[in-house]
Copies of this chain bind each other. A is one copy, B any other.
Amino acid sequence: MAEGTGGPGGGESLLFLTDEQLRKGIEAMFFAYRGFTADPDRILEGMDYGRAHHRAIHFIHRSPGTTVNNLLSILGVTKQSLNRVLRTLIEDGLVESRVGRQDKRERHLVLTEKGAALERELSDAQRARMRAAYRAAGPAAVQGFRQVLEAMMDPQLRRQYQTLKETGS
């Protein structure tokens, strides 16, 4: 094992690209994603909501006034699927749906105070885990983490992520 960055030829070792290393990354993604969703899931169970509601709430919070179509393209589900979730959130008074000013066909989605409160509770929990992981790994690791994740996305999703990433920072 081992072999440094500067083997006989001067280039970087490609050992990090072995099937073995890749497999570890794949399994790490699997187990880490479980942790990633665990805290919000715990909060939501018991309420009538699930992970799908969490995702909707997250992105509405993230882009207040976003349209249904916009949300659809971010979440990557069908409108029937999203509508089922949105309907309950609107009925329960967590989300408000406002008719568009310029284009009255559009609905602009915003969190109510009640919705914002749940969003805060969920994202506090998720951020707490993330913060602990970031702190344990350190800033250099975090940078690498984000680089690899970004490279792993489908190009279309990467564009959406980058658009999102820039707004609000």
Q: How far is the CA of A36 from the CA of B130 in the complex (A)?
A: 20
Q: How far is the CA of A160 from the CA of B147 in the complex (A)?
A: 26
Known contacts A24-B165, A28-B146; A152 and B139 CB within 8 A of each other: no
How many of A's residues come within 8 Å of B, CB to CB? 65
| Residue among B29, B35, B55 making CB contact with A154, cutoff 8 Å | B35
Instruction: List, sorted by A's number, 28 A–B pairs whose CB atoms are closer than 8 Å.
Output: A15-B139, A16-B134, A16-B139, A16-B142, A17-B135, A19-B127, A20-B169, A21-B134, A22-B127, A22-B134, A23-B62, A24-B165, A25-B130, A25-B134, A26-B123, A27-B62, A28-B150, A31-B149, A31-B157, A34-B157, A130-B152, A133-B148, A133-B152, A136-B151, A137-B148, A140-B140, A144-B145, A144-B148
